Amino acid sequence: MSQVSLDCAIAFARMGRLISFPTDTVPALATLPAQAELIFQAKQRSQDKPLILMAGEVADLWQFAQGSDRELTIWQTIADRYLPGALTLVLPASKLIPAVMNPRGNRTIGLRVPDCEIARSILRQTGALATTSANLSGEPPLLTMAEISANFPQVYALDTELNLPTVGQPSTVIQWDGSGWKLLRQGAISVVDRDE
């Protein structure tokens, strides 16, 4: 599939197709949450590896998480400090998350807002999308739209000269365990959890 314009990428995403666009870490494969199986198929990804839900604004994330008022305050504090940015928060999932996003049945969801205006402009118009890095499972992330188009002919890749990112490193992933944060993957940023 040839690369497509911004408007076409947004339209295809809204139709439930697979698209790809740059982020602040590595380019994303993305689709509507209900169509997340397309990502697992394209990547040949194990069903025990859940996907991330990416949104254009931090405020758009909270409907997909379920917690107490105290927890929401804590989550908002860390989001205020690091998002938009290269951080994924793994939180208890609300009923809005389709089971196909996390086939193993663990009711958590990774949530992120990238610090990348192209990505956020798409996400603001499509709503939150199921995402992951653009690569076959177990292989290094592809870093340009041309590489993604060549390796994933079924994907509508954004036609852009901005072959972001320069870091080429995935997001840092932290999980809320009910009392504090647990580091699951050290990525592009270091998180300092401090009480204020």
The topology (CATH level 3) of 6-185 is DHBP synthase (3.90.870)
> pLDDT band at residue 1, thresholds of 50, 70 and 90?
low
Helical (H) or strand (E) element with 71: helix 69-82
User: At residue 8, what is the residue type?
Assistant: C
Measure the CA–CA gap between 88 and 48, rounded to whole angstroms: 18
Give the torsion through C-alpha atoms of 140, 7, 159, 51, to 10 deg. 0
Q: In this predicted model, what pLDDT tens digit does every residue of 126-176 receive, in sequence order?
A: 999 999 999 999 899 998 888 999 999 999 999 986 645 556 788 999 999
Selected residue with higher pLDDT from 166 and 113: 113
Strands (E), the chain: 19-21, 28-31, 52-54, 87-92, 108-112, 129-133, 156-157, 172-176, 181-185
Percentage with pLDDT > 90 across the chain: 76
Q: In this predicted model, what pLDDT tens digit does every residue of 57-108 receive, in sequence order?
A: 999 999 999 999 999 999 999 999 999 999 999 999 999 999 899 887 779 9
